[in-house]
Structure 1
Amino acid sequence: MTETPVMPLHMRRERFDPVEELARAREGEGVTRIMTIFGTPAYLVSRYEDVREVLSDATRFSNAGSQPVLHSDTLSKEERARLQAGQLLAYDPPEHTRLRRMLTPEFTVRRMRRLEPRIVEIVDAALDDLERAGKPADLVSHFALPVPSLVICELLGVPYSDREAFQRRTGRLLDASLPLEQRTAAQLENREYMGHLVERARVEPGEDMLGMLVREHGDDLTDAELAGVSSLLLLAGHETTSNMLGLGTLALLRHPDQLALVRDDPEQVEPAVEELLRWLSIVHSGVPRTTTTEVEIAGQTVPEGSQLILALPAANRDPDFVDDPERLDVTRGAAGHLAFGHGVHHCLGAPLARMEMRIAFPALLRRFPGLALAVPYEEIEFKAFHVVYGVRELPVTW
């Protein structure tokens, strides 16, 4: 029997909240020695200003020294290189800049606004499906997951009919309780699947993003890079937003006064999305950084070559960042939170994710003004070991 690994400190939560031990680490020394889930030593950075500093400086704190893609010992050197190709999170400038520059025009706020009518249609169709399912129904499978999945599939040019297969692979890939070999296998399967789509786009590029990349940058990008970029966008595009929609809805149901503001006041929707992003911080840490020189963080000396884990939930609940940080307050907006990261690796898809949430949350709450949990709150299962935090199911009634 395979033993479940010990959960690292930065991933530990009590339902919505980071564990008290994480807050004590932040209020104490601010930099804590920990062991990663792979059994390697690292430094945990937990204060808002310190985390922001690390994210701001790609020279002293390198992504390239870490491993955002999984590397099982069973992989050959060539397989490892193929998996890493095109993975924006695996590079520092200038290589990161080269890849990101090709994608940035597709994710501007102006470009995202063109998608708004289609996103409204997708949200409405998902709400129709939820209603047809009858109560009680699982909000995750009928709404929170289908909406961002269909949006990113249409944007990238991925057949929506393939969604169940790639969602299963993504679920294995992000489940840190599984053996490394199983997660690596899921990663290889994802890359092989995307490689077939790249081959098809090379022959007949469509009007989607993959087609655009082939037409405009096909001579500058290898097939492996195209597959890597697309794999990352597909994974991030549906997994993060779907967990925000599910967990965010549960948070609002647990705070009826906050829910009413989002449902009834259009002016409150945008700040509510930002506050939910801060308060939930569904990405525990992002990609580990590696120090390229000896550095000082929170008054402590960290040697060159050290791995840094950034505790985003702790940083976003730092009282030096916002007042009364443990309280969900959808009126405050929480500008400057780190839920999307910061610096050169700030989430490329942030404008798309924000738009999906701004449309989806109020649409759901207005369609079902009597929305409520269909099971006791204590029975809701949270995805404790997942790299992206959320709930497995959310049974609701109305």
Structure 2
Amino acid sequence: MTEAPPYPQKRTCPYEPPPGYQEIGERGPVLKVTLFDGREAWMVTGYRESREILTHPNLSSQRTHPGFPIVAPRFRSQIARSLALIAMDPPVHDIYRRYLNPHFSLRTVRGMRPQLEGIVSGYIDAIIDHGPPADLVPMLAVPLPSLVICRHLGVPYEDHDFFQDASGKVMLGTEEESATAAQDLVDYIDRLVAAQIKEPSDGLLGTLVRERVIPGDVGHDELVSIALVLLIAAHETTSSSLALSVITLLEHPDQLARIQEDPARLPGAIEELLRYIATTDLVATRVAKGDIEIAGHLIREGEGVLVSGTLANRDDQVHSRAHEFDVLREDTHHLTFGFGIHQCLGQNLARLELEVALHQLLTRVPGLRLAVPVDELPILGAGTVQRVLRLPVEW
């Protein structure tokens, strides 16, 4: 075995970890890995250890720290290293979360269900009218979360092609593509915020202008950074999770049949999908701002720390039959949305989008199946968001 295995590695199957992660998992729950630039960082792969370290007071999200681990060249840009919320520690992080939490609460999201059901119904109508084969990436997985977050934020949906393309490049492009796309998005949102300050709309951006910018709690540039994070995070992860969920269900027809027998099983099945797929390979990229003792290891101040959702979600010390996909599983607890103060702000909305989209797709398009073998589906992403570029289906 290598002293510090390479990380990240590419998937060869949309819903399974890369083959090399077996060694990393066996070496866990805490070990060192080697990043693309030759630097080493600590990786936490155990479920319990991940929860422990994600609440440790000496774990920092400050991406400008010289010891912060960068897992791909595209994350070296200034914008990527200064993102609101994601690259912040308390107390500023907690203040921003307090401003945003009510707008993504379970109560708020539940109130969005009728609108969301109508949106999904329109996309399914279009898929049925189109007829097989149909590519679910451009016909459902990509536009659905884009339209939902546009309406929630108050962003003009006619600009969705631009920010879908830009957000994809930020997360999965080359270093130059990512930096350019991030700046394009910042410039675009900067103009939106300026317009909202002149005449606030009813969306979340307008609400934050009235409640936080005008009173002086949040500055113009701060709101731009917040909106950038919300726009990218809400689009990329949910889009990929939906596509990967469809593939996983279609490749496990016995599990799909269980949902079709009783649609009330769908919410539990979604938790199992979130555990099993782990769309975002890492749930945390951090740096130690003080020494941390964990699982018999000493992580020293200034050393980088990665937390692997993919491996923590399949920890056989916590999950029985950890590598099996079982929609009736009771131990579906997972770290896909993170843990602790940085737990995903939009998780309630993501769950609802997955539930409504999968319910309508599976009930209104019976006999759904992949139009090509799963190993021919193009996969993009390593160490960040796993994305399927095409998803052709028949029925």
TM-score normalised to structure 2 length? 0.91
**How far 1:351 moved relative to its partner?**
0.5
Query: Given residue 298 of structure 1, which amino acid in structure 2 is its aligned partner?
Result: A
Q: Secondary structure at the residue paired with 1:310?
A: strand
Q: Is structure 2 residue 246 aligned with structure 1 residue 249?
A: yes
Structure 2, unaligned stretches of length 5 or more? none
2:23 aligned residue: 24
Q: 1:83 to 1:173 in 2, by over 3 A?
A: closer
Aligned counterpart for 2:190 among listed residues 183, 189, 195: 195
2:202 aligned residue: 207
Change (3 A) 1:366 1:185: same
Q: Which amino acid aligns with 1:49?
A: R
SS at match of 2:184: helix
| Structure-2 residue corresponding to 1:278 | 275
Question: Which structure 2 residues correspond to residues 1-398 of structure 1 after superposition, within 5 A?
Answer: 8-15=6-13, 16-57=15-56, 59-64=57-62, 65=65, 66=68, 70-72=75-77, 80=78, 87-175=84-172, 178=174, 180-218=175-213, 219-385=216-382, 387-398=384-395
CA contact (8 A) 1:149 1:163 kept: yes
Return the offset for 1:336: 2.8
Q: Alpha carbons of 1:328 and 1:335: their partners in 2 closer, same or farther (altered >3 Å)?
A: closer
Report if aligned partners of 1:291, 1:308 keep a CA contact under 8 Å in 2.
yes
- Partner of 1:288, secondary structure, is strand
Three-state SS of the structure 2 residue aligned to 1:341 is coil
Amino acid of the structure 2 residue aligned with 1:28 = R
Matching residue's letter, 1:9: Y
Amino acid at match of 2:378: E
Give me the whole-angstrom Cα distance separating, in 1, the residues matched to 2:383 and 2:168: 8
Q: Which residue of 2 aligns with 1:76?
A: none
Displacement of 1:292: 1.5
Question: Distance in 2 between the 1:358 and 1:382 partners?
Answer: 23
Pairwise CA distance, 1:52: 1.4
CA shift for structure 1 position 246: 0.4
Q: Distance in 1 between matches of 2:31 and 2:351?
A: 32
Return the alpha-carbon distance in structure 2 between the equivalents of residues 204 and 334 of structure 1.
48
Return the offset for 1:377. Answer: 2.1
Amino acid at match of 2:211: E
Amino acid in structure 1 at the alignment position of 2:11: R
| RMSD across aligned positions (CA) | 1.9
> Residue 130 of structure 1: CA displacement?
1.3
Distance of aligned partners of 1:47 and 1:86 in 2 relative to their CA distance in 1, 3 Å threshold: closer
Give the total of aligned pairs: 381
Percentage of pairs with the same residue: 37
Deviations 1:10-64 (A, max 9, x none): 444331222343233223343222222344321121111111112122x211112
Q: Which one-letter code corresponds to 1:61 in the other structure? A: L
State the alpha-carbon separation in 2 of the partners of residues 85 and 187 from structure 1. Answer: 12
Rate the CA distance shift 1:333–1:115 in 2: closer, same or farther, 3 A.
Answer: farther
Give the SS at the match of 1:309. Answer: strand
What SS is found at the alignment partner of 1:14? coil
Q: In the alignment, is the contact (CA less than 8 A) between 2:9 and 2:20 conserved in 1?
A: no
* Contact kept? 2:60, 2:289, Cα under 8 Å: yes
Between 1:336-345 and 1:285-294, the stretch displaced more is 285-294
CA offset at residue 85 of structure 1?
5.9
Other structure's SS at 2:20 match: helix
Instruction: Report the alpha carbon displacement of residue 173 of structure 1 after superposing the two structures with TM.
Output: 1.1
Deviation at 1:90, TM superposition (A): 0.7
Cα distance, 1:266–1:50 mapped onto 2, change above 3 Å: same
C-alpha displacement of 1:359: 1.0
Corresponding letter in the other structure for 1:31: V
SS in 1 for 2:268: helix
Answer yes or no: is the 8 Å Cα contact 2:238–2:350 preserved in 1.
yes
Gaps of 5+ in 1: 1-6, 73-79
Quote the offset at 1:287 in angstroms: 3.9
* d(CA) in 2 for partners of 1:118, 1:281: 27
Q: In 2, distance between residues paired with 1:86 and 1:382?
A: 26
